[in-house]
A and B are shown apart, each in its own frame.
Chain A
């Protein structure tokens, strides 16, 4: 079955770095657009980053642009989020999310979500 499993969260000091991973299974990873979405404690959902299925396009929320980098390794069926210069306001559960249609360059919903990994930025 289609599954996304995030890992790599933890507690980090302000200014520190962390790399999140998302292991994908049950589908042809290389043909789907993938995203990261976060949710601060008790708050709503915030889109963070996107990578198109063919890696030709990526985009970031203004709040993380220049600090976060999304990447994917199709040989390992894994999506990554490199997070640098972390701030207290980056504290959140980070979800790895998949689009439902293969090979599309158009916008799409999120049909599969991982369980999330918690990132806490605190001194």
Chain B
């Protein structure tokens, strides 16, 4: 199975500041035939199911604020929250969907400093 490793495990950021979460896969999730990275990002708030934020590594899901952006290719990816808002406090997960055996990163908890 593809192992997904996120860093850091947690971070505290001041309101309005940038938050950056990294995700590394144990093998490339770039599919050569269509040049797409099979990498998604999810946000989970307490007591709620996860919500899809980003797919194809950098495409925002409909309705997701543009302060959320994804980047990277191959094995290294980043989720950036450009200006942290109070409602962004949550745990964020990366996920590969390169194969049907989906795997998630361990999660990164984002808090307000």
Contacts and interface: CB of A to CB of B under 8 A. Distances in A.
Interface string B88-113: 00000101111111111111000000
Interface stretch (A7-15, A83-91, A103-111): A103-111
A59 B95 contact: no
Contacts of B38: 107
B93 A107 contact: no
Given A44-B93, A44-B106, A45-B93, A113 B50 contact: yes
A114 B52 contact: no
A102 interface: no
Interface residues of A, number: 23
B91 to A, nearest CB: 8
A110 B100 contact: no
Q: Is the interface of B mostly helix, strand, loop or mixed?
A: loop
B55 interface: yes
B55 A59 contact: no
Interface of A: 35, 37, 44-47, 50, 52, 57, 59, 61-62, 95, 100, 107-111, 113-116
Given A108-B97, A115-B49, 12 more contacts: A44-B104, A45-B95, A45-B107, A47-B101, A47-B102, A47-B104, A59-B100, A107-B99, A109-B97, A110-B40, A110-B52, A114-B49
20 contacts: A44-B93, A44-B105, A44-B106, A44-B107, A45-B42, A45-B95, A46-B104, A47-B101, A47-B102, A57-B100, A61-B101, A95-B50, A109-B52, A109-B55, A109-B97, A110-B95, A110-B102, A111-B61, A113-B49, A115-B49
